[in-house]
Structure 1
Amino acid sequence: MSDLDIKFAALADATRRSILTMLLEDDMAVTDVAEPFEMSLAAISKHLMILANAGLISQEKRGRVKWCKLEPDALKTASVWMQGFGQFEPVNLDAFERFLEAELDAPAEKTSSKTA
């Protein structure tokens, strides 16, 4: 699997995109990353491993706590690949964050409108 395939595969999962959005704000401890999700710490760790293997985040141990950090240049290869089609502009992380937030809010809005 190519580097680009690995990155796109990592981005294909909504939980992982949500984690990336959280890490846009600041570095986070693994337990803090896991807090908003209704899944086990082991499941979150698996998502984090996929993001780290794709080069989208890095992890480091500080004392007893494992921290996650967004790697801001990690999407450059995907951006360059998309630019090759002439239809896309370079990835703007602020715009990417707004896109991710809109995508993550959309399912919640659909769910709340169904229950209303």
Structure 2
Amino acid sequence: MKVRPNLDAVLTALADPDRRRAIELLGTAPRRAGELAEALGLPAPAMSRHLRMLKQSGLVEETHPDFDARVRIYTLKEGGMADLKLWLAETDKLWAAQLTAFKTHMEKTRK
């Protein structure tokens, strides 16, 4: 299998249920950090830490509206899960091949 350097960072970021929920919320619409914190029931410092990890993993990006640079809007980053999707597809093929070989082996030994 091909080495995917970002995969570990993505899996680490997605290991936390609050970060996964933030990803789900951002999948419906861009949001400010305060909106995410309120929706998740988290204090602002905790939400900030989660968002930092999501940005570092390449899953989320932030923008600033022209009218106020202090406001940060978070969105899902285009292609942020590409490495994860490729790894899952490769792993699925590997398992399918292994299970097919096992089934063939078992059918031969039964005869």
Distance in 1, matches of 2:24 and 2:42, equals 18
Contact 2:22 2:40 survives alignment (8 Å): no
Contact 2:21 2:40 survives alignment (8 Å): no
The equivalent position to 1:35 in structure 2, one of 35, 38, 42, is 38
The equivalent position to 2:8 in structure 1, one of 5, 8, 11, is 5
Which has the greater radius of gyration?
Answer: 2
The equivalent position to 1:57 in structure 2, one of 60, 73, 83, is 60
Distance in 2, matches of 1:37 and 1:24, equals 15
- Could you report, residue by residue, the CA deviation over 1:44-82 in whole angstroms, capped at 9, with x for unpaired residues? 010000000000000122213111001141111111112
Unaligned segments of structure 1, at least 5 residues: 89-116
Q: How many residues align?
A: 87
Which residue pairs with 1:82 in the alignment? 88
Over aligned residues, Cα RMSD in angstroms? 1.5
Q: Identity of aligned pairs, percent?
A: 25
Query: What one-letter code is carried by the residue in structure 2 that aligns with 1:49?
Result: R
Distance in 2, matches of 1:21 and 1:72, equals 14
4+ runs of 1 displaced by more than 2 Å? none
Which residue pairs with 2:79 in the alignment? 73
Cα offset, 1:29, TM superposition: 1.0
